[in-house]
Structure 1
Amino acid sequence: MRSASIGIGVGILTVGLVVPALPQGNTKKDTKVVSYANDVAPILKSYCYSCHSGAEPAADLNLAKTDFTKSDVIKLGDPEHSTLIRRMKGLDGLPSMPQGFKPLEAAKIQVIADWIKQGAKVDKTLEKHWSYLAPVMPEIPQSMTKWGANAIDAFTLEKMTEQKLKPSPEASKEMLCRRVYLDLIGLPPTVAEVDAYLSDKSPNAYEKLVDKLLASKHFGERQARGWLDIARYADTNGYEADRIRNAYLYRDWVIDAFNQNMPYDRFTVEQLAGDMLPNATIDDKVATGFNRNSMFNEEGGVDPAESFYNVVIDRVTTTSTTWLGTTMQCSRCHDHKFDPFTQKDFYKLYAIFSNVQYRRDGDYSKSFSEHWIEPEMRVMQPQEKAKYDVATAELATLEKQRAQIMADNADDYAQWSKAAAQPVPFVTPKVESVVSDAGSSPTVAEDQLIEVGGKNPDNDQYQITLDLPKGDLNGLCVRTVPAKGKPQGRASSENFVLTDIGLTVDGQKVRFAQAKADFVQDGYNVRKLLNGDRASGWAVAPNYADDHCLVVQFEKPIAGNKAVLTLGFHSKWKNHNIARFRVGVTPSKYPLLDTMKVTDQNRTDAYIATSPVGYVLDEKIEDVKNKMGILESESPVALVMEEKPTTGKITAPVHHRGEFLSPGDLVEAGTPAVLPKPEGNANMNRLEFAKWLVNGKNPLTARVEVNRIWEQYFGRGIVETLDDFGTQGSPPTNQKLLDYLAVKFVQSGWDMKAIHKMIVMSATYRQSSAATADAMEKDPTNVYLSHGPRFRMEAEMIRDSALTISGLLNAKVGGPSVMPYQPPGIWDSPYNGEQWMESSGDDRYRRGIYVFTKRTAMYPTFATFDSGTRESCMVRRIRTNSPLQALALLNDKAYLEAAKALGQEMLAKGSLTKGITFGFRAATSRRPTTQEIAVLEKAFNQFESQYTKDPGQAKKLGKDVNEAAWTMVGNILLNLDETITKE
């Protein structure tokens, strides 16, 4: 009978043949129980899944699904007769698997062989990938050595021992000081700070230094740098237009949160749903800027509904990457090919993030395409808030005085109240003439409508002669008369600004008591018309379509025949002259009532406004309110989230193949089925989702965060793929350590500073970064941590270090983004015309985290050093090496300026050797060797000789030859590999 066969890749697996016996695995009773999830699956994933997984696996053998254990490629308990093992070893005259690649290591094949010998078990608790199982506190390994400072070291030493590696000695005090400064605050220590640490001989000197740095205001800046990559924070909207947005308040919130050691669970909830917390504070709402950092497409022809769809997609993928370490975006179009996430899972999350306000006006009757602008909130800064509080107290005092006026004038109020019920009789007097002082052309219609045409000067003034009716008059009004195609103002905006008003009757000047208008533009005060304050006056933006009325009340009744009314338009706004209006006069004792709609509810306010004493008080109140309004309007804007009111469960359609135009069946908001269900019966929304992430039972949240923190210190996560804890991600190099850190993190109350301190206090972290030959051979990438970390700094840290070393750094924390020097022309490519306006003074020397981030034109030296574009969530920067990086540090103006400042500091030390020693210590935190001093002294002398021969070149670097030579020595020091490397 012909034997059964199955093809794997392009080879053939033959089953049922008589084969020579294979060597047995370890048959001792203490043979380690092989875990499918922890031991076998990672090997299969790394070497087999590329062909044998997915929708159409090679040879119809899907090794990503655990049911392959029931196929004929495995003979349970008998690895030597299992086709899977034979093909891996390349027996039976067939190529070894994986075909076309380097053969599997014998040790890895033995792991799978032991697993088959033990029955190839995949029990129900292990059918899930390791990361979807809740971490449990592992037993801390016991060591016969005395090496180690905390539990971290027990776990790392166990791995080193397995690889026959030994830990390195502790780094020198200088190097350890520099390392922990860079790691905790992102800045190198000054020479004085190094000396202070070296002089502390106490046994806990290092711990005191760590505590000092954890308490530093710069700790938050250091930690926020990485988080802003994750949050895709930028100062512009992205896409082609890439216009500026005001987002820095979110950045400052992140810095403050890290500095305050906000627990990570609270840190999570506030960013995802701070607006939904009970009695949400301003800070709670600002935190939701995390998901307002999405790019915003303003290109012509974009469908707002589709753009909103893409924004929500971004929020789902960013949130999943950040807290779940999951490539959830793969499920947008179809069920995930490798991980247990379905397309329905994706749109359950989509529903959560889609239920947000997207209309500032709250009118959801309009179609989506008419208006999509998510909420913004003005946030007063501390200095302005103090002024606002003073104004608020002043306003309360004035309001109290108003109440007293009402109490003191009860009888007069009763009489006035009767008059208020009657209309104010205004009479339109005949206009004899209108003259413009600036050459415009006024005309008067039969109905006494005055219309001004012709030339429209920057400023104008009208003299209007009127025939007055007989009898006493108490007030005058100017009423605008807009008509279709005929605006009330002559400015291009249709506005006007009346700054002056005067009246004479039969040659005698009339004194005005009060002025009031039915509508006044924000920031303007018609009362200022009466005291000559041309910075204010009467303007009506944005209400141009309606007619408006300004009324002035006379100090005492007047009577006469001829009146001359003067209207002046002398504001700073050019051409803001009035175009169409009528003039009226009235005998009414209460002329200002014409500007008010008096109701039972507002009679008190109306009466106060018509009282002479109340009028003055109201003027003060209006001034205070205007001051408060200006403080509010000038406050920076925060982009925030706001939940849309809804009843019942939130739903969203599943889009066929992820296409916006192909919505399908609805799914309810929810969480991925493979992960633990949320507790309770509350309807799922952003707040419930955020709570679910950090309820302590989610197997991913704590692991993902402590893994990112670990990567910050060692240059590589315990799981190298920080954004992928799924089956296609890298397996943990030390899962027990990862789970220990994750469980401790939750047990500590999600205390972030506690995790940071545990890591930097460990002996593992404090090792020298000098690797032995044995370590380089056995562990060239330091996976098993037999020596300390050593890798190039990130982009912002390189610049911050140069500024610190040179003494230029402006250490201010928070505030608007700055624009330090960058080469010309960087912003010429975007079409929107915005310019890089170079900051002045000390703002040029602020930390990199505050440098303005434009998505389509990143700050060039940061981009050169792998900073990314902030267009999407980035949890890890991949370091590159290129000649451009060296050229940037050698020639960029910012670094040359730092070199010059460092040179001047060295020059001030009084001698060549002292100057070089100081500069070297400032750059590297250690003392130079005799040979290093000699090399730098030789370089100085060469530069001095060169610039003596060519003083013109020297002038480009300093005021004289000596300063130029020191600048070049500073340039050398800032470009040392040791200067830009953490080791």
Structure 2
Amino acid sequence: MKQKLSIFFILLGLMALVFAFQSGFFRASDDEYVHQKMPELVDYNFHIKPILSDNCYTCHGPDANKRKAGLRLDLETNAFEELPENPGKYAIVKGKPNKSMLYQHVISDDPKQVMPPSDSQLKLNFHEKKLLKKWIEQGAKFDKHWAYIPPRKAELPKIEETDWVQNEIDYFVLEKLEEHDLSPSKKTANETLIRRMSLDITGLPPNMEQMEKYLSEGQDFVFDQAIDEFLASPSYGERMTQVWLDVARYADSHGYQDDSYRSMWPWRDWVIHAFNNNLAYDEFLIEQLAGDLLPNASKDQILATGFNRNHPITQEGGVIQEEYQSYYVVDRTNTLGKGILGLTLECAKCHDHKYDALSQREYFEMYSFFNNVAEKGLQMDAVQAANQKYFADAPFMVITDEEANGVLSFINKKKEEDVKVMVMNDSMPRETFVFNRGEYYDLGEKVLPDTPKDIFPFSEDLPKNRLGLAKWVTDTDNPLTARVFVNRLWGMLFGKGLVVTSEDFGVQGSLPTHPQLLDWLSRDFMDHGWDIKYLLKKIMLSATYQQSSIATDELKKADPENLLLARAERFRMSGEMIRDYMLATSGLLNAELGGPSVKPYQPAGLWEETNAGGNRGTLTSYVEDEGESLYRRSLYTFWKRTMPPASMSIFDAPTRDLCEVRRQKTNTPLQALALQNDVQMLEAARVLAQKTLAENAGSKNPVTSIFQRILIREPNKEELAVLESYFEDALDLFSNKKGDAEKLLTQGKYKQIDTDPVRTAALMLTAQVIYNLDETITKE
């Protein structure tokens, strides 16, 4: 009898296993989820909404044209309604997963019933199914999208290792680490931290004098004083402007086929001036969005609105005026969404947004704020533009010598003819209509200026113009603006934001890794008057920022992407920063602030190859500048949309056709080739070698000197031994090939310094090796 019972239970167990495999609970791909810890309270925003967004919203989301079965899951009221195609049935029944059709379809093993459909290539894993079930059991509580809830300061978490904490930021970071049984990394060396801070604040390495000064203070070194000194440098404004230019899609040409010249650089000078004077971020935005509409607007406030006119403009004959004029308004609308609000507004241009609660009507209500500019789709062709040195499409402002010496004294204008800059001017009121299917010629219902109500209602006290929009954007109750900027600044310092998708705070974007920290910083930022320098200093004074970047085996395994911030991040600098680094350490950098864009070295023929406009425009061929202009910071390099600077494009710079807030990060052989062979890099190595030998004529060990100049630290014994051996080998090589040494030293236009060519060429190659080190081009 016992034997029969044993066989019976074995068969029963086998049948249960078969059923389990058929129902998908023990698929190999689910193994990692079976033992995943379930939260005590399932949160709609952080646990459930990502599941619904990724798997359900395409057919059951905001887009009415794609909606199926009459079911909408992104809105609470709709999600609990009776299913129109199944009377008496409900997608979600609070507290009853067995009565909830959503859950029943998700766990079904019937290919005709399972959701998402089997042909969609989507499916929920074991953990996601358990989350849905527990959420329904707990009452299926909905909540507003996390990014649409105004940030608030949560109480500081209770943690165990309080000795590590240096300010409020560390409480939130350490809480996460302790939840995962991890400890933060030790504090990095002072010399590493000084270099890190200098690169983050100024975009340039510290000079040897600064490093020696700070290190001589030993343990008494005061970090906050060093931060203040870096923030007071004019280079700070240049560093911050470099990042903003991607957001503002700044370029020195119009784009499209003819791609002719435009003079927008005075607006860039305004941005540098604004950052260096620590203009509050809310005022920074208001003046750029609507400075011309401020009461008694000053010249500099009007100039700030050039931000809205940085988009491409066609100068090609035969275009339809209305079509391209609508493109410009679309661009301004999308830039506001992506660059300032962290929203993919563009997805609602042709239909209701498929994932976020943004309707097509709301898109064009936002569009209408920007639709009153006295501009045309085609203003002037490239031939006419070629006859003017400082060209701008109307509406524009004229900057005279008198103004450049007075109210606009921050503009680095040469005493020549007046400069024209494109700005905003709402002198052409237009009616706005929804574009059916996004087509400018197929007009739907008429709309008036307004903002998406799910985000933050537009106050009746605000004017229905760009100034009202700017006030809405910078209202302290607006849930997005401060969060988006704080997150982007965090990403600038740490390599990625607390929300990795810094351009998208919508449903399809990443969830914040530390939501309470992001909210605390955002509210604190606003409480301190939107003070950007205050925010930077707050982050830099945290123990989180000052950690070592060494990735132990434990941390690599537990948190390979460093989302928990148990160490400082290491990442390659941008192309602009790499070039500026080499100019600065070689002594070539021209520190002049502001002014017209310059044309440094560039491979020959690039502009000619991409020129599609014949000889009509002014930018058909690239003519290098001479003298000091070759060594300006990369911020000032001439930016042609159809052919951006090659040295920056290689290192992932965008074209600036559209607003970009997060550059992609690639690692390609072309980058290594550029570092090895670019004339700017070779010239920097040559000049550094010549200056080192000229300044230390009697020195027997110039290798140490150039190492210190480039990496801002002393080499260790092993490093010095390898580099000295390389230097000696190069000396032997060039001793028998003096002609090759002299030829190598012809790199670049900077004046030659009278030094021994053999010794100089050997030291130049050694400097080039150091410039190509991973440590040199990495911010860590």
**TM-score interval, smaller chain:** 0.7 to 0.9
Q: Give the superposition deviation at 1:909.
A: 3.3
Q: Give the superposition deviation at 1:676.
A: 2.2
- 5+ residue gaps, structure 1, are 1-10, 15-22, 363-371, 390-629
Work out the CA distance in 2 between the residues paired with 1:51 and 1:950: 72
From 807, 820, 823, give the equivalent of 2:587: 807
Q: Which residue of 1 aligns with 2:254?
A: 237
Q: Give the superposition deviation at 1:929.
A: 1.4
The answer on 1:783 being equivalent to 2:539 is no
> What does residue range 711-750 of structure 1 map to in structure 2 within 5 Å?
711-750=491-530
Work out the CA distance in 1 between the residues paired with 2:458 and 2:99: 46
Q: Which moved more, 1:964-973 or 1:379-388?
A: 379-388
Q: Which residue of 1 aligns with 2:712?
A: 925
> What does residue range 411-422 of structure 1 map to in structure 2 within 5 Å?
none
Kept in 2, the 8 Å contact 1:25–1:114? The answer is no
Q: Give the superposition deviation at 1:952.
A: 2.5
> What does residue range 377-526 of structure 1 map to in structure 2 within 5 Å?
377-380=397-400, 385=405
Secondary structure at the counterpart of residue 827 of structure 1: helix
Q: 1:923 corresponds to which letter in structure 2?
A: I
Q: Give the superposition deviation at 1:303.
A: 1.6
The answer on 1:853 being equivalent to 2:646 is no
Q: Give the superposition deviation at 1:34.
A: 2.4
Q: Give the superposition deviation at 1:680.
A: 3.6
Work out the CA distance in 1 between the residues paired with 2:194 and 2:44: 43
From 747, 768, 777, give the equivalent of 1:971: 768
From 696, 701, 711, give the equivalent of 1:909: 696
Q: Which residue of 2 aligns with 1:519?
A: none
Kept in 1, the 8 Å contact 2:321–2:376? The answer is no
Q: 1:298 corresponds to which letter in structure 2?
A: Q
Q: Give the superposition deviation at 1:292.
A: 1.0
* Cα displacement string for residues 502-529 of structure 1 (whole angstroms, at most 9, x for unaligned residues): xxxxxxxxxxxxxxxxxxxxxxxxxxxx
Kept in 1, the 8 Å contact 2:57–2:354? The answer is no
Q: Which residue of 2 aligns with 1:339?
A: 356
Secondary structure at the counterpart of residue 765 of structure 2: helix
From 191, 198, 201, give the equivalent of 1:174: 191
Secondary structure at the counterpart of residue 682 of structure 2: helix
Work out the CA distance in 2 between the residues paired with 1:349 and 1:235: 28
Q: Which residue of 1 aligns with 2:752?
A: none
Secondary structure at the counterpart of residue 405 of structure 2: helix
Q: Give the superposition deviation at 1:356.
A: 1.8
The answer on 1:665 being equivalent to 2:665 is no
Q: Which residue of 2 aligns with 1:369?
A: none
> What does residue range 37-436 of structure 1 map to in structure 2 within 5 Å?
37-46=45-54, 49=57, 53=61, 55-56=65-66, 63-66=73-76, 67-68=78-79, 76-77=94-95, 108-122=128-142, 126=143, 128-145=144-161, 146-201=163-218, 203=220, 205-358=222-375, 373-380=393-400, 385=405
Work out the CA distance in 1 between the residues paired with 2:499 and 2:521: 13
The answer on 1:873 being equivalent to 2:653 is no
Work out the CA distance in 2 between the residues paired with 1:919 and 1:859: 28
Kept in 2, the 8 Å contact 1:132–1:675? The answer is yes
Q: 1:882 corresponds to which letter in structure 2?
A: T
* Cα displacement string for residues 818-846 of structure 1 (whole angstroms, at most 9, x for unaligned residues): 11111110111313363322121111111
Q: 1:914 to 1:308 in 2, by over 3 A?
A: same
Q: Give the superposition deviation at 1:295.
A: 0.7
Work out the CA distance in 1 between the residues paired with 2:604 and 2:760: 27
Relative to the length of structure 2, the TM-score reads 0.84
Q: Give the superposition deviation at 1:39.
A: 2.7
Secondary structure at the counterpart of residue 809 of structure 1: coil
Q: 2:554 corresponds to which letter in structure 1?
A: D
Q: 1:806 to 1:97 in 2, by over 3 A?
A: same
Work out the CA distance in 2 between the residues paired with 1:853 and 1:25: 50
Q: Give the superposition deviation at 1:153.
A: 0.8
Choose 1 or 2 for highest CA Rg. Answer: 1
Q: Give the superposition deviation at 1:133.
A: 1.5
Q: 1:955 corresponds to which letter in structure 2?
A: E
Q: Which moved more, 1:223-232 or 1:83-92?
A: 83-92
User: Is the helix fraction higher in 1 or 2?
Assistant: 2
Q: Give the superposition deviation at 1:722.
A: 1.2
From 395, 411, 418, give the equivalent of 1:635: 418
Q: Which residue of 1 aligns with 2:778?
A: 981
Q: 1:377 corresponds to which letter in structure 2?
A: M
Work out the CA distance in 1 between the residues paired with 2:280 and 2:258: 38
* Cα displacement string for residues 680-732 of structure 1 (whole angstroms, at most 9, x for unaligned residues): 44440011110111111111111111111111011111111111111111111
Kept in 2, the 8 Å contact 1:79–1:113? The answer is yes
The answer on 1:952 being equivalent to 2:749 is no
* Cα displacement string for residues 131-186 of structure 1 (whole angstroms, at most 9, x for unaligned residues): 11211221211222121111111111111122222100011111111111110000
Work out the CA distance in 1 between the residues paired with 2:431 and 2:415: 38
Work out the CA distance in 1 between the residues paired with 2:583 and 2:521: 35
Work out the CA distance in 2 between the residues paired with 1:822 and 1:24: 56
Q: 2:765 corresponds to which letter in structure 1?
A: M
Q: Give the superposition deviation at 1:49.
A: 4.8
Kept in 1, the 8 Å contact 2:401–2:415? The answer is no
Work out the CA distance in 1 between the residues paired with 2:681 and 2:591: 18
Q: 1:272 to 1:764 in 2, by over 3 A?
A: same
Kept in 1, the 8 Å contact 2:373–2:425? The answer is yes
Secondary structure at the counterpart of residue 775 of structure 2: coil
The answer on 1:864 being equivalent to 2:644 is no
Q: Give the superposition deviation at 1:106.
A: 5.5
Secondary structure at the counterpart of residue 602 of structure 2: coil
Q: Give the superposition deviation at 1:130.
A: 1.1
Q: Which residue of 1 aligns with 2:468?
A: 688
Task: Give the root-mean-square deviation of aligned CA atoms.
Answer: 3.2
Kept in 2, the 8 Å contact 1:654–1:666? The answer is yes
Work out the CA distance in 2 between the residues paired with 1:954 and 1:657: 65
Work out the CA distance in 2 between the residues paired with 1:632 and 1:845: 22
From 535, 538, 562, give the equivalent of 1:758: 538
Work out the CA distance in 2 between the residues paired with 1:332 and 1:63: 22
Q: 1:89 to 1:208 in 2, by over 3 A?
A: farther
Kept in 1, the 8 Å contact 2:254–2:262? The answer is yes
Work out the CA distance in 1 between the residues paired with 2:122 and 2:565: 26
Work out the CA distance in 2 between the residues paired with 1:382 and 1:822: 35
Q: 1:26 to 1:645 in 2, by over 3 A?
A: closer
Q: 1:860 to 1:741 in 2, by over 3 A?
A: same
The answer on 1:940 being equivalent to 2:756 is no
Kept in 2, the 8 Å contact 1:191–1:922? The answer is yes
The answer on 1:961 being equivalent to 2:758 is yes
Q: Give the superposition deviation at 1:383.
A: 9.3
Q: Which residue of 2 aligns with 1:499?
A: none
Secondary structure at the counterpart of residue 875 of structure 1: coil
Q: Which residue of 2 aligns with 1:706?
A: 486
Q: Give the superposition deviation at 1:209.
A: 0.5
Q: Which residue of 1 aligns with 2:623?
A: 837
Q: 1:349 corresponds to which letter in structure 2?
A: M
Identity of aligned residues (%): 41
Count of aligned pairs between the two proteins:
705
Relative to the length of structure 1, the TM-score reads 0.67
Q: 1:355 corresponds to which letter in structure 2?
A: N
Kept in 1, the 8 Å contact 2:55–2:122? The answer is no
Q: Which moved more, 1:666-675 or 1:872-881?
A: 666-675
Q: 1:381 to 1:106 in 2, by over 3 A?
A: farther
Q: 1:112 to 1:905 in 2, by over 3 A?
A: farther
Q: 2:216 corresponds to which letter in structure 1?
A: S
From 677, 685, 699, give the equivalent of 2:457: 677
Q: Give the superposition deviation at 1:102.
A: 9.8
* Cα displacement string for residues 322-342 of structure 1 (whole angstroms, at most 9, x for unaligned residues): 221111111111111111111
Q: Give the superposition deviation at 1:74.
A: 5.2
